[in-house]
Structure 1
Amino acid sequence: MANALTTREPIRFSFGDTPELADDLLALVLAGKKTATCGALRDYGQGGEPMPEVGRRDVVLNGKGEEACVIETISVETKRFDDIDPSFTDLEGEGPYAEWRAGHEAFFARNGGFSPDMQVVCETFRLVTVLPAGRAVYHRVATPIFIVTDIESDGPTPLHNSMLSFASVAVTADGARHGEFEAVLTPRPDRKQNETTMAWWATQPEAWAAATYNAEDPAIVMPRYADWVESLPGPKVFVAAPMIFDGLWMDHYLDEYAGTRALSGPFKGRQIFRGGGICLYTMAGTLRGAPYLDWGMSKLPAEFYGHIPHTHRAIDDARGFANVLVELLQLSSALPPITGSVSDFR
């Protein structure tokens, strides 16, 4: 349900037909719960709304007509109202099918008439950018998804060596899993293996096999990974243990092959992650209350890992680290918040 306000590019519109509904549906979009919308075919073209186009980016307005976010159309399909099933209505995020149907029947009835046979344009989209007028709502409703990542390499640095494999587990603070990504990469022809690292790999034959079997070109894998991250709802936060190693490798490969980074910042281009990420090593050390020289992931109890062994197979280690993150976030949430005057940081 949309109400177009202009026909110039990019199209600026609000969801619904009242300011209150516009704000309610916008909040669902910003929360990552609404990734689809639909409108009567009769309202498109010939002086009406422009038809949605795959790849087009439009500006969503709040109930006050202020620019709140940018969305990008992923798919467009026209079908009878009665042919729309829960596989689509669930993406609209407006409740169970019966509730969705009642709400849309009422909406269409007051905006030109409703019929079970009416043609409806069904659109799916993704949230691209949150604009100033949407930030307060976004911070209130969005649920971060933590992309906990482990990598394996044939040396200590991406400047001289190659990343062999990596895996990410998408998890929220409540422990819910939202997907996994695992890949094995072909070594870069312009890099060399590190002798010390390879001597260690010789002691880990099973892990080496997992890190080298069925390898793919990183030029293919990394864009696919970036697309996977972007497909997840809400803000995504990169997590590694430690950030200076696994994060460094992922940042380098994402920059080299996918035109993005493992962090966000004041630079142009595609930004798939929010903020500077989380170093699990640092987080674990501080929340344990241990002195720095007693930090280390091996110092955490096995229960924190969910009793998943650290095998140096990327997906195993990422799953264990995801469990650790959830435990640490629970510890963090129990601490009293730090408040004070406005920070001097700019």
Structure 2
Amino acid sequence: MSSSATNREQIKFSFGDSPELADRLLALVLAGKKTATCGALRDFGRDGEPMPEVGRRDVVLNGAGEEACVIETLSVETRRFDDIDPGFTDLEGEGPYAEWRAGHEAYFARNGGFSPDMQVVCETFRLLTVLPAGRDVYNRVATPIFIVTDIESDGPTPLHNSMLSFASVAVTADGTRHGEFEAVLTPRADRQQNETTMAWWATQPEAWKAATENAEDPAVVMPRFADWVEGLPGPKVFVAAPMIFDGLWMDHYLDEYAGTRALSGPFKGRQIFRGGGICLYTMAGTLRGAPYLDWGMSKLPAEFYGHVPHTHKAIDDARGFANVLVELLKLSSALPAISGSASDFR
């Protein structure tokens, strides 16, 4: 990589050794396909270029020298070139090992010389922020990850009751899973149980056990969840069925305990999700072509759920809803595209 450093806190650099390579590798970063890079140890210290440091946040420039994104270093290790294995090179996102090796041998050869024994600094990182010069590329290449979430509570509203448990499944439109998150929460001391809800829970002993055992403080869980979401590649989109229930609970708890929201908006601060999210209830009703009074998640065929039973255990229900989302996105993608202009929205 080539770089310029103004101080230890602000490192600006571009990948590669040409504007074309800088743009190509930047696109891989913005697409979530490149989460690692490497450079010759001999090059660090030249022209004030510091070694990468865990936790440091660097600005990546595009081929025109414009600030495109911010990345955060997660790990740094120095290895012999021949000791770099596919486990690392796959993170660079530049093709299979043989292709990566040929490209890097050529790169090092034209930038000071190559040797199989040369010392190479191997760095992993995560994409933290997309800056103005990177937004057009990001919108073109990034793959959204949908965070399909189900919650369980001891009442209908976070204003008076407590969330007991929740689970999320991270999935892309093609059905690829990117992980799961589960948590059981201690009830809030400033809330109370709803009698009607608790009478219903009495009929669901297995689900109640799953929603209450090994509970943790939401002040610990919600920041952990926000970090998990933020650590996933690409833009993240919140999904719930319906948004007005599960989404309302998650938005309230994230706001209260993690300083963020389930939805993005025109406000300052940490935003871990993109856009207004997806209400599966609404999406399912419209894509079925049904009148409003016939909407409902139970109206969908069992195969849409992947035959995952709706057990009122948060993880089971989140998995079933994730399968539903993938099926609905297939229906959506088959529809003719409709576009407008920027002036259509006031």
Give the alignment's TM-score, normalised by structure 1. Answer: 0.96
Summarize the alignment of residues 92-241 of structure 1 with structure 2, pairs less than 5 Å apart.
Answer: 92-241=92-241
Alpha-carbon spacing, 1:48–1:5, altered in 2? closer, same or farther (3 Å): closer
Query: SS of 1:252's equivalent?
Result: helix
1:169–1:319 contact (8 Å) kept in structure 2: yes
Cα displacement (A) at 1:46:
5.4
> Residues of 1 paired with 2:277 and 2:49: CA distance?
40
CA-to-aligned-CA distance 1:159-189 (integer Å, 9 cap, x gap): 2111111011111111111111111111112
Q: Percent identity?
A: 90
Cα displacement (A) at 1:6:
5.3
Cα displacement (A) at 1:214:
1.3
> Residues of 2 paired with 1:185 and 1:5: CA distance?
45
State the Cα RMSD in Å: 1.4
Cα displacement (A) at 1:5:
6.6
1:2–1:39 contact (8 Å) kept in structure 2: no
Q: Which of 210-219 and 318-327 deviates more?
A: 210-219
Cα displacement (A) at 1:3:
3.8
1:7–1:49 contact (8 Å) kept in structure 2: no
Cα displacement (A) at 1:324:
0.6
Q: Specify every segment of 5 or more residues in structure 1 that has no aligned partner in the other structure, as ranges.
A: none
Cα displacement (A) at 1:8:
6.8
> Residues of 1 paired with 2:188 and 2:343: CA distance?
44
CA-to-aligned-CA distance 1:191-224 (integer Å, 9 cap, x gap): 1111111011001111101111111111221111
Q: Which of 184-193 and 311-320 deviates more?
A: 184-193
1:284–1:297 contact (8 Å) kept in structure 2: yes
2:3–2:11 contact (8 Å) kept in structure 1: no
Cα displacement (A) at 1:45:
2.2
CA-to-aligned-CA distance 1:51-98 (integer Å, 9 cap, x gap): 112222111111111111111111112222222111111111111111
1:3–1:17 contact (8 Å) kept in structure 2: no
Give the alignment's TM-score, normalised by structure 2. Answer: 0.96
Cα displacement (A) at 1:9:
4.2
Q: Specify every segment of 5 or more residues in structure 2 that has no aligned partner in the other structure, as ranges.
A: none
2:32–2:234 contact (8 Å) kept in structure 1: yes
> Residues of 1 paired with 2:4 and 2:88: CA distance?
22
> Residues of 2 paired with 1:171 and 1:340: CA distance?
28
Cα displacement (A) at 1:239:
0.2
CA-to-aligned-CA distance 1:144-166 (integer Å, 9 cap, x gap): 01010000001111121111110
Which 4+ stretches in 1 moved above 2 angstroms? 1-9, 45-48, 339-344
> Residues of 1 paired with 2:120 and 2:190: CA distance?
53
Query: SS of 1:200's equivalent?
Result: helix
2:145–2:170 contact (8 Å) kept in structure 1: yes
Q: Which of 66-75 and 12-21 deviates more?
A: 66-75
Q: Which of 326-335 and 6-15 deviates more?
A: 6-15
2:9–2:56 contact (8 Å) kept in structure 1: no
1:12–1:60 contact (8 Å) kept in structure 2: yes
Cα displacement (A) at 1:340:
3.8
1:151–1:163 contact (8 Å) kept in structure 2: yes
Query: SS of 1:38's equivalent?
Result: strand
2:259–2:270 contact (8 Å) kept in structure 1: yes
Q: Which of 78-87 and 10-19 deviates more?
A: 78-87
> Residues of 1 paired with 2:34 and 2:204: CA distance?
45
> Residues of 1 paired with 2:4 and 2:21: CA distance?
14
2:5–2:48 contact (8 Å) kept in structure 1: no
> Residues of 1 paired with 2:232 and 2:341: CA distance?
35
Cα displacement (A) at 1:103:
1.0
Cα displacement (A) at 1:341:
4.2
Q: Which of 38-47 and 195-204 deviates more?
A: 38-47
